[in-house]
Amino acid sequence: MTATETGGEAPAPAATAPLLEIDHLQVLFPVRAGMLGRTRAHVHAVDDVTINLTEGETLGLVGESGCGKTTLARTVLRLTKPTGGHLRFRGNDITALGQRDLRPFRAEVQMVFQDPQASLNPRKRVGQIISAGLALRGMPEKDRPARVRELLAQVGLSPEHVNRFPHEFSGGQRQRVGVARALAAEPRLIVLDEPVSALDVSIQAQVVNLLDDLQDRLGLSYIFVAHDLSVVRHVSDRIAVMYLGKIVEVSPAEALYSRPIHPYTEALLDSVPIPDAERARRARKPVQGDPPSATAPPPGCRFAGRCPHATDVCRRVEPPLVAYPGGHLAACHHPRNVSAEDLAAAVISPSSPASSGDSLPGSEAAL
């Protein structure tokens, strides 16, 4: 079920053809100033991001606040318009489709939001909220009440709760309603934007387990956004780490924890309590300071100002996204935890941003 990025490994079999292709996607937000509201600069929220998702896969997406996770998630749903690049769903280019043409896609891709309180209409009963998704699928009105009850049961709520309002539920229960609403449209992909961050720690595991369970039963694909690496570890097949609008590392989940290649991932791992004998032995070095402005990202590696391993080349040349053996990609001139064999097998991934350099780590140009 784990997908691999293109670049360096065997071609994927036809059965694992991408469900979603995010292809050099860019989202810039204009910063306006002055009486005339002229555009003075742009926020580089998502800056040349390429990644695929296969049917049934869970992609964890992590990074600090402001790195572009929500913007990427919303753009995948076409709730935010991309500035550049392409989005393909089942091979169909949906980047520029109008609202009418997007309708079939809207049912196939649903979102669960961080704050269930804010994302559920407080004036509607839960039955009405979930029915809206059934209408999106074109289900006749007479069939909807029975299906709403089934969906409530599927997310672990009592079908008797159909006439309750959102405020009559606890936080965890409200998030279950949010999941039932998403499921009503019978999606193939659900984008979960920090779905448990607003919940008590004791409830988080229950909701994560529910999502995991639903995925197994319904064969769903997930993009699971979180700001720390502890939440996504057990649900993800692969994890992508974002930093200031860029993807800096993508890896099969376990390899990211046992063998992080990018110094930022290493620092993120040191920022959260993750049981790991090797990490417990050595001194933790959590990520320090703040990221630079997304309006004026620095040249070269965007992490250079905070990276303990930065050298001159890091400040001059943007590191390309490099594919290492095992479907592990990282954008760093001085990669961590890679062997000489890994380096010898490394190639620049086609996912690499257009603005990046073309020297592999270990080559003379990257020293």
Cβ 33 to ligand ATP, closest distance in Å?
13
User: What's the CA gap between 29 and 74, in Å, rounded?
Assistant: 13
User: What's the CA gap between 148 and 79, in Å, rounded?
Assistant: 26
Question: Could you tell me which stretch among 67-75, 152-160, 280-288, 356-364 binds ligand ATP (CB under 6 A)?
Answer: 67-75
**Residue 71 contact partner, candidates ligand ATP, Mg ion, ligand SF4, none, CB within 5 to 8 A by sort of partner:** ligand ATP
From 43, 45, 253, 301, residue interacting with ligand SF4 (rule: CB under 6 A): 301
Cβ contact 359:317 at 8 Å: yes
Q: Residue 34 or 308: which CB sits closer to ligand ATP?
A: 34
**Residue 89 contact partner, candidates ligand ATP, Mg ion, ligand SF4, none, CB within 5 to 8 A by sort of partner:** none
From 78, 176, 246, 333, residue interacting with ligand SF4 (rule: CB under 6 A): 333
Question: Could you tell me which stretch among 66-74, 94-102, 151-159, 281-289 binds ligand ATP (CB under 6 A)?
Answer: 66-74
Give CA separation, 243 vs 197, 281, 301, in Å.
Answer: 19, 27, 10
Q: Does 42 bind ligand SF4 (CB under 6 A)?
A: no
Cβ 160 to Mg ion, closest distance in Å?
34
Element (H, E) at 52: strand 38-54
Give CA separation, 317 vs 79, 154, 322, 331, 355, in Å.
Answer: 33, 51, 14, 11, 9
Q: How many CB atoms lie within 10 A of CB 364?
A: 6
Q: Which residues share a beta bridge with 223?
A: 59, 191
Cβ contact 148:141 at 8 Å: no
**Residue 85 contact partner, candidates ligand ATP, Mg ion, ligand SF4, none, CB within 5 to 8 A by sort of partner:** none
Nearest to residue 175, comparing CAs of 235, 121, 115? 115
Q: Does 227 bind ligand ATP (CB under 6 A)?
A: yes
From 29, 309, 345, 362, residue interacting with ligand SF4 (rule: CB under 6 A): 309
Cβ 207 to ligand SF4, closest distance in Å?
33
Largest CA distance in the chain: 70
Site string for Mg ion, 145-164 (x = CB under 5 A): --------------------
Cβ contact 51:353 at 8 Å: no
Nearest to residue 103, comparing CAs of 83, 89, 91? 89
**Residue 310 contact partner, candidates ligand SF4, ligand ATP, Mg ion, none, CB within 5 to 8 A by sort of partner:** ligand SF4
Beta strands, E only, 55-129? 58-62, 84-89, 92-93, 109-112
Element (H, E) at 233: none
Scanning residues 28 to 47, which ones bind ligand ATP (CB under 6 A)?
29, 43, 45
Residues in contact with ligand SF4 by the rule CB under 6 A: 262-263, 301, 303-304, 307, 309-310, 314, 319, 332-334
Residues in contact with Mg ion by the rule CB under 5 A: 69-70
Residues in contact with ligand ATP by the rule CB under 6 A: 29, 43, 45, 63, 65-71, 227, 294
